């Protein structure tokens, strides 16, 4: 069941998803193209979904790594709603939500300049790379902006 979390505009709201997480597979597949990979974090994740005028636009899946760190496993927006600030609002919400209890948020992404710039603009810094992550862990090539993803790039942001 969804529970309303925060009203962020006249008709915009963020809800926490506590059940039926597989119902969000369509939008999750925008952020991670492999359902098997999503299933590895599906149940242990907390989902936050952003609705505008009761239309689902974006989702963020978060897991607790340890007592100081949370990881964003998936942040996705339907293509027709991209570049309208929805992911930014959701990311800001998640960071604010976790800053009381955790010190750091981390995430892994591919070597896509648009995506990397999105996160860096919001205070994330690159910390490490996992060589050949996408070629070793996905059954098919993952291509973004015309470039095949190879390495996983980890970014972090201090919440304190």
Predicted TM-score (pTM) of this structure = 0.88
Average pLDDT in the 59-74 region?
97
Mean pLDDT (the chain, rounded): 91
What integer pLDDT is reported at residue 6 of this predicted model?
Answer: 54
First to last CA, the chain: 31
CA-CA distance, 85 to 81, in Å (whole number)?
8
What integer pLDDT is reported at residue 154 of this predicted model?
Answer: 96
What lies within 8 Å, CB to CB, of 114 at 6+ separation is 144, 145
Total domains in the fold of the chain: 1
Name the pLDDT band for 83 (thresholds 50, 70, 90): very high
Residue 142 belongs to domain with CATH number? 3.40.630.30
Residue 17 is part of which domain span?
Answer: 2-158
What integer pLDDT is reported at residue 4 of this predicted model?
Answer: 46
Three-state SS at 86: helix
What integer pLDDT is reported at residue 1 of this predicted model?
Answer: 41
Average pLDDT in the 21-31 region?
96
SS3 content of the chain, % helix, strand, coil (to 5): 30, 40, 30
Q: Map tokens 């800053």 to a residue.
A: 99
Residue 22 has pLDDT above 90, yes or no: yes
CA-CA distance, 10 to 31, in Å (whole number)?
27
């Amino acid at each position: 069941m969804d529970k309303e979390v925060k009203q962020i505009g006249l008709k915009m709201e963020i809800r926490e998803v506590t059940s039926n997480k597989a119902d969000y597979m369509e939008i999750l597949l925008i952020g991670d193209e492999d359902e098997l990979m999503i299933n590895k974090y599906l149940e242990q994740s907390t989902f936050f979904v952003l609705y505008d005028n009761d239309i689902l636009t974006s989702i963020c899946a978060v897991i607790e790594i340890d007592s100081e760190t949370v990881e964003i496993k998936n942040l996705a927006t339907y293509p027709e709603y991209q570049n309208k600030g929805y992911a930014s609002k959701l990311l800001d919400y998640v960071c604010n939500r976790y800053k009381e209890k955790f010190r750091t948020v981390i995430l892994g992404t591919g070597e896509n300049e648009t995506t990397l710039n999105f996160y860096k603009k919001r205070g994330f810094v690159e910390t490490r790379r996992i060589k050949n992550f996408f070629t070793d862990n996905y059954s098919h090539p993952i291509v973004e902006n015309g470039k095949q993803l190879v390495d996983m790039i980890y970014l972090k942001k201090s919440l304190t």
